[in-house]
A and B are shown apart, each in its own frame.
Chain A
């Protein structure tokens, strides 16, 4: 894939803790094109939230290692100083809809002021102009602009999530990263939010990275998908390949464990647990739980790039 929007190469983010170094993101590489939605799926402890932090440089104080390159529109943002990243990248070229962000809306500010805030802070707009743009972006997410003057508690869960999405879009970023955007929502509300994201993708040709453990929901907004396991990408492919015919044994079992409403299927589960990120095993990290392991798996496989465009980190596909 050409990766004309984003190229991430060997991204590493390790944290220092009292129990040792947590290798949360351990050599992640992928590409994205403009107007593409990339789903990153993984279970708890796979490092997906740390991946978000690594891309947006939202780092805590206990960082042990932070390396690799994040090339957005041809520019390696890892080389930017803190100040330059803040003034030119974060919330300007890339923004975030964080997990449970809808609960993080400031209760004592009007919703409109909060949604307009990024324009005032990052682009120096005056409040009136910023609010006018907020009104426009509210239209795009399907919220009446009556709600600009209301407070967060006056909005339902679904509307608050739309307000948060509006806040992430208002500076017209090249990339929006969504971390579990629908986990806390009911089914009908989830379907509504996915409709909003689909229409934004069409209307604005917006690019998204959609990070979640909810496999079925990602299929609503996915051109390509990546599965993360133990801090690394196990498989990356287009939506057809990813959902219908995964190659990596972990991805196969993961798809096999998703209950389906419309199709009758025998469900699988994966015994055991993912390895600790503090001392990940040598060799392939999934080998201990893999039903197809063999001798080569004692060595860590590279991410093989196959002829059909997908990448698989597994010796079976050498």
Chain B
């Protein structure tokens, strides 16, 4: 359910383009990594961004985090558009966000103890009092269950297992008491039996602090355990947006259909059949195809329409949005 009040995060027709330079002065075009994405995210809600590599999901998250500047459109946080923030305000904004990256070992500086790693964001954001630092560090390590705390604060990253390292990354993301966490493939580098433990931890933390979470993953199977809504991204756009159960029961976009069909459950019968996979590859983000970007691979493309015009957003079911001409008889939607 969306808040009737203003959502914590509003993304309005966001475009993030990266310039390609061939020679010193000549421009060779843009990589349009995010190309027209809009959504609202209230507090307390976890949103899954699912897509393959190059779909734009990481670029979208990094733009929301303030790491990339939007080329067009805006990111509005608690009513304030990012484009209008000055440096001091940007810094305050960054303390409202936490980032959990994919590679826990790569995310932690190997030459710092856990205590130093956790103290760093506090120092940067001007929490200098030692007692307060200790207290916050203690609090956050208890929360991620790296206990006894006195043992763990002295350890260096290489002394921790993969799961423990990822807990440390989560602790660091939480230490400034953020309102929103962006988790980019937080468990894909961990072993199968540890993934659930970490996802459950994130869920507990989310509920305890009423956090908004953007959960980026290519592993659709985990989404049901961790998110309320799911957005499917393809070629820099969100082609389908819906509550998780709604999408799993009723997927509208042919790309979503292909994606779901490609994912195996551990079933011995899988060895007996071949999977239907759409031919071709995702398009170039420099020169995406005209019209709907999926049309060259779509088994249900409508000739004369799909290759000509980009479809708007339709809403075939309440809160379930799809960018696809197949649903042109459904109600057109303003936003997702």
Chain A interface residues toward B at CB < 8 A: 37, 43-44, 156, 158, 186-192, 194-195, 198-199, 213-223, 239-240, 242-244, 253-255, 257-264, 267-271, 273
- Would you call A269 and B263 a contact (CB within 8 A)? no
Q: Label chain B's interface by main secondary structure.
A: helix
Chain A nearest CB: distance from B202 CB in Å? 13
Name the A residues within 8 Å of B278 (CB-CB).
188
Query: Are B271 and A261 closer than 8 Å at their CB atoms?
Result: no
A253 touches B193 (CB 8 A): yes
Q: Give the chain B neighbours of A253 by CB distance below 8 A.
A: 193
Q: Does B218 contact A (CB under 8 A)?
A: yes
Contact of A270 among B193, B261, B281 (CB under 8 A): B193
Q: Which of B52, B260, B266, B275 contacts A216 (CB 8 A)?
A: B266
Tell whether B259 is near chain A: CB-to-CB under 8 Å. Answer: yes
Task: List A contacts of B219 (CB < 8 A).
Answer: 259
Complex contact A187–B281 (CB within 8 A):
no
6 pairs of A and B residues whose beta carbons are closest in the complex = A239-B268, A191-B262, A186-B52, A43-B191, A259-B221, A269-B197
Is B258 close to A, CB under 8 A? yes
Whole-angstrom distance between the Cβ of B289 and the nearest chain A Cβ: 17
Chain B nearest CB, measured from A153 CB (Å): 15
Kindly supply a per-residue 1/0 record for chain B positions 223-260, scoring 1 wherever the CB is within 8 Å of any chain A CB and 0 otherwise: 01100000000000000000000001000000000111
User: Contact between B191 and A219 (Cβ–Cβ < 8 Å)?
Assistant: no
For the complex, what is the distance from the CA of A43 to the CA of B162, rounded to whole Å? 12
CB neighbours of A194 from chain B (8 A): 264, 275
Q: A199-B274, A215-B192, A261-B220 known; A187 and B262 CB under 8 Å?
A: yes
B329 within 8 A of A: no
Nearest Cβ on chain B to A197's Cβ, whole angstroms: 10
Find out whether the CB atom of A242 lies under 8 angstroms from the CB atom of B277.
no
Q: Which residues of B contact A189 (CB under 8 A)?
A: 52
Residues of B whose CB lies within 8 Å of any CB of A are: 52-53, 161-163, 191-197, 200, 218-222, 224-225, 248, 258-268, 270-271, 274-275, 277-278, 281
Shortest Cβ distance from A240 into B: residue = B268
A243 touches B266 (CB 8 A): yes
User: For residue B161, which residue of chain A has the nearest CB?
Assistant: A273
What total count of A-B pairs have CB within 8 Å?
Answer: 119
Measured CB to CB, the closest approach of chain B to A70, in angstroms, equals 25
- Decide if A188 touches B52 in the complex (CB within 8 Å): yes
Are A219 and B162 in contact (CB-based, < 8 A)?
A: no
Smallest CB gap from A268: residue in B:
B196
Could you jot down 16 A-B contacts, CB within 8 Å? A188-B262, A189-B52, A191-B261, A213-B192, A215-B266, A221-B271, A223-B271, A239-B271, A253-B193, A254-B192, A257-B192, A258-B192, A261-B265, A267-B225, A269-B193, A273-B163
In the assembled complex, which residues on chain A have CB atoms less than 8 Å from the CB atom of B53? 186
Q: Let me know if B193 and A220 touch, CB within 8 A.
A: no
Chain A contacts for B263, CB-based, 8 A = 187, 191, 216, 261
Cβ contact of A219, chosen from B161, B200, B264, cutoff 8 A: B264
Other-chain residue from A220, A222, A261, A269 in contact with B248 (beta carbon distance below 8 A): A261
In-complex Cβ contact of B271 among A214, A222, A244 (8 A): A222
A260 touches which of B194, B221, B258, B271 (Cβ 8 Å): B221
Are the C-beta atoms of B52 and A243 separated by less than 8 Å? no
Question: If the complex has contacts A213-B191, A242-B268, are A191 and B277 also in contact, measured as CB distance less than 8 A?
Answer: yes
Partner of B267, one of A188, A214, A219: A219
Q: Give bound CA distance, A262 to B222, whole Å.
A: 11
B54: min CB distance to chain A, Å? 9
Q: CA A264 – CA B244 in complex, angstroms?
A: 13
Instruction: Known A-B contacts: A188-B278, A259-B225, A273-B163. Give 18 more (CB < 8 A).
Output: A37-B271, A186-B53, A187-B259, A187-B262, A190-B262, A192-B277, A195-B277, A214-B192, A216-B265, A219-B268, A219-B271, A222-B271, A223-B271, A253-B193, A261-B221, A261-B265, A269-B197, A273-B161
A263 contacts which chain B residues (CB < 8 A)? 265
C-alpha spacing A252/B225, complex, angstroms: 20
Neighbouring A residues of B192 by C-beta, 8 Å: 43, 213-215, 254, 257-258
Residues of B within 8 A of A259 (CB): 195-196, 219, 221-222, 224-225
Inter-subunit contact B191/A44 (CB<8 Å): yes
**Which chain B residues border A215 with CB–CB below 8 Å?**
192, 266
Query: Least Cβ distance of A124 to chain B in Å?
Result: 37
Taking a contact as CB atoms under 8 Å apart, the answer to whether A188 and B277 are in contact is yes
* A239 CB contacts on chain B under 8 angstroms: 268, 271
Chain A residues contacting B262 (CB-CB under 8 Å) are 187-188, 190-191
A267 to B265, CA, bound (A): 14
Chain A residue contacts of B224, Cβ below 8 A: 259, 261, 264
